[in-house]
Amino acid sequence: MEVFELKKVVRPHQHMPADVKQAFFEGTRPWEMANDSFVEWTVGEYQDYDDEEDSLLKEVDDWALKNFTKGESIIILHWW
């Protein structure tokens, strides 16, 4: 018997404010992700990052902390 894990799915174009959505797409650009893919995001993961490169991802994480539980794993769709 297979065990499946349920995760919440975030659609940036529907669920994120415009500034957070832009931070998500700009912050994940170096990851060279294709359209129609996704990110498995652990809420609260970017709170301790001080690197300027990760400032956009911290902005997304700040939004996620307001909407989900710290440590929760969510899926953020990456499509445009």
**β partners of residue 10:** 76
| Residue 31 · residue 74 · CB < 8 Å | no
Alpha helices, DSSP H, located in 1-80:
12-15, 18-27, 55-67
List pLDDT tens digits, range 19-53. Answer: 999 999 998 888 888 777 999 999 999 887 777 77
Amino acid identity of 41? W
Model pTM? 0.86
Rounded to the nearest 10°, the torsion over CA 35, 3, 64, 42 is -80
User: How does residue 78 score in pLDDT terms, banded at 50, 70 and 90?
Assistant: very high
